[in-house]
Amino acid sequence: MMSPGRPAALASLFREDASLSESIQWLQSVYLKRLEGDEQASELEKLVLRILADGLLPEGMTVEKVDSTGLWVTTPEGRSVALTELSDGYRTVTGLVLDLVRQVFVENGGAIPTDGDDNRVAITQDGVVLIDEIDVHLHVSWQRRIGFWLKEHFPNIQFIVTTHSPFICQAVDPGGLVRLSPPWEEGPAAEIVEGETFNRVVNGSTDDALLTDLFGLDTTISDRANDTRARIAQLEARAVLDELDEAGLKELQRLRSFAPTSPTAVADVARRGNS
């Protein structure tokens, strides 16, 4: 286990597993002190488990306990599973949050400043946290809320996060959305995104965000789907002119089942074919 201090706080920049392995060992040491009757360790263990269990994990999974074998999670069916047996997303996010709590503990000489009530607790330590590609390994439903969760439970920490996910971007504050330019692009290396683009990314739909200059897509539909839609449009036009034969009608019906489109001309042709 790495000695506490500034170097330890940077370990996860170079070792992906550092935050989880080091932090679980730390929490296990707290658990052992609690067994020895240390009241401060008992309160610390309760606080850490309470934060981890407060809606951090998705799909009804809840951090349950720590013991000498590791950190345990309860499934929606009530089964206990070791965190190390779960997927990368669970391990990465739990390790991130647990590492944050541990670093706050070390920085404050064994204390964790908190605020909250019986329903929710937040750690009020200030600071700056760098997270690279937080969306990696996370399901989109988790990407959509992880940023808000971190801001709610660490309200005084500035999170500097890199991401390619529009869902992660939805949690940013005004002035906090920054586009990094690729090396081959002329102009500034970084640009704060404001105005209409900011509103579309933060308050719009996923399509709204992806079609902005921030993500650089012309369409959110695959090339194959675009080709299918173009073919449907051709067949619809022939249907309107009554130039669609039986083979064309069957093709239109088949393509429509793969690529839902407007029900107007397609539905009319399908009804005529079934009459």
| CB atoms closer than 10 angstroms to residue 48 | 24
Question: Could you tell me if 120 and 240 lie in one domain?
Answer: no
Question: Could you tell me if 229 and 149 lie in one domain?
Answer: no
Each of the 275 residues of the chain gets a pLDDT tens digit; together they read 445 555 555 554 445 556 688 999 999 999 999 999 999 999 999 999 999 999 999 989 999 999 999 999 999 999 999 999 999 999 999 999 999 999 999 999 999 999 988 788 999 999 999 999 999 989 999 999 999 999 999 999 999 999 999 999 999 999 999 999 888 888 899 999 999 999 999 999 988 999 998 888 888 888 888 888 888 899 999 888 888 888 989 988 888 887 665 444 444 444 544 54
Given a contact cutoff of 8 angstroms between Cβ atoms, the answer to whether 25 and 34 are in contact is no
Question: Could you tell me if 46 and 106 lie in one domain?
Answer: yes
Cα separation, 64 vs 82, whole angstroms: 10
Q: What is the pLDDT of residue 4?
A: 52
128 in any annotated domain: yes
Q: Where does a domain end: 154, 171, 188? A: 171
Place of tokens 């996060």: 161
Question: Could you tell me if 142 and 264 lie in one domain?
Answer: no
Q: Where does a domain end: 127, 152, 171? A: 171
250 in any annotated domain: yes
Question: Could you tell me if 124 and 29 lie in one domain?
Answer: yes
210 in any annotated domain: no
Cα separation, 199 vs 203, whole angstroms: 5
Question: Could you tell me if 138 and 269 lie in one domain?
Answer: no
59 in any annotated domain: yes
Place of tokens 């002190």: 33
Q: What is the pLDDT of residue 216?
A: 81
Work out how many domains the chain is built from and give that number: 2
Question: Could you tell me if 70 and 142 lie in one domain?
Answer: yes
CATH of the domain at 104: 3.40.50
178 in any annotated domain: no
Place of tokens 């009608």: 249
Question: Could you tell me if 167 and 227 lie in one domain?
Answer: no
Question: Could you tell me if 155 and 262 lie in one domain?
Answer: no
DSSP readout, 185-233?
Answer: S-S-SEEE--HHHHHHHHHS-HHHHHTSTTTT-S-SS-HHHHHHHHHHH
181 in any annotated domain: no
Place of tokens 């969306």: 135
Question: Could you tell me if 41 and 156 lie in one domain?
Answer: yes
Q: Where does a domain end: 129, 156, 171? A: 171
Identify each DSSP E strand in the chain by its residue range: 62-67, 70-74, 80-82, 114-116, 121-123, 127-132, 157-162, 178-180, 190-192
Question: Could you tell me if 123 and 49 lie in one domain?
Answer: yes
128 SS3 class = strand
Question: Could you tell me if 134 and 62 lie in one domain?
Answer: yes
164 in any annotated domain: yes
Domain that holds residue 110: 6-171
260 in any annotated domain: yes
pLDDT digit string (tens) for 4-18? 555 555 554 445 556
pTM here? 0.79
